[in-house]
Structure 1
Amino acid sequence: MSNEHNEAVEETVTEQEQAGQEAEAQAELQEDPRLSELAQQAEENQQRYLRVQADFDNFRRRTMKEKEELGQYASMKLIGQLLPVVDNFERAVAAASVNGDYESLAKGVDMIFRQLEQTLQQEGLQAMNVVGEPFNPEFHQAIMTVESEEHEEGIIVEEVQKGYVLKDKVLRPAMVKVSG
């Protein structure tokens, strides 16, 4: 039992020493105003860090939500500009079915096509002019090479399907026949 008693006494002494050391540290903090000031600054910095972290988390969530909405509604403006074109198509088809005047329908469709083309150009879409130009794989897709006496080798002789550029990027390369 004396062994257990000695261990209990040692633990009590150790606890008392720790309590004494903590009391000394507290007393030092209270005695030295610089340490107290530094502890206060550390606490203020910790609180500031936590506020900035929360602000950043909110910013990140808000940015992700805005990005999702932008992707979801990105075509809204363009579709709004195309609705008058759709309305004109409906009117042309309705007028042709009532009157049976297909010549007027052809003229109406031509006018609607020009309206659609103008709307797309306002958004930055441009058709490529490729016939007679040198073949460039960044803008053109060769589907065939043909012998040509009037063009030298590597020149586009025929456009099979139009290519388009949207602002400064190729939206669709032109399908072409190239002289070989």
Structure 2
Amino acid sequence: MKEEQQEINNVSEEIETDIVEEVNQQQSTSSLEQEPALLTELERLQALADENQQRVLRAQADFDNYRKRTQKEKEDSAKYASIRLITELLPIMDNFERAFSVDVANEQVESFSKGMDMIFRQLESTLQAEGLVAMESVGQPFNPEFHQAIMKVESDLYPEGTVVEEVQKGYMLKDKLLRPAMVKVSE
């Protein structure tokens, strides 16, 4: 930033020096008859200097805007750096949840299921530490920004336009929608 400001100042100083030199050169060869021409030339050079000053100010403003925009993009990139990995892990989370929904009667399978549940909870807590949050959809009004309706169903428990059942969980990563919830909506 300091280098660009110094370069802008150097360009401004060079322009002013050139104008002063040209005016001094014109004055040294001037006579009373050349005075109107010199005034016209001085006005032209002043207009040129003003135009160049405006260009320098615009270039500086453009650079400041560019710097701010790239800083924001850098912050967003750091904030959502893990989005690709988390998106790829969501189907694994879904499969874990489906596996746990199976009723287990065998003692060995039950022990295995408890171990898998512990692994799932560890994965879930790690993803939550990264900012992943499961959305609660059942009983909420249908919102097309957060829900993907896959069917409408009759319901006496919920008013029309309310999510009755969640077929697949929706997730938010920090403040950004990562995946909408697939839901059934009451009619």
* Bigger relative contact order (CA 8 A; separation at least 6): 2
Q: TM-score, normalised by structure 1?
A: 0.47
In our comparison, the structure showing a higher alpha carbon Rg is 1
TM-score (norm 2): 0.45
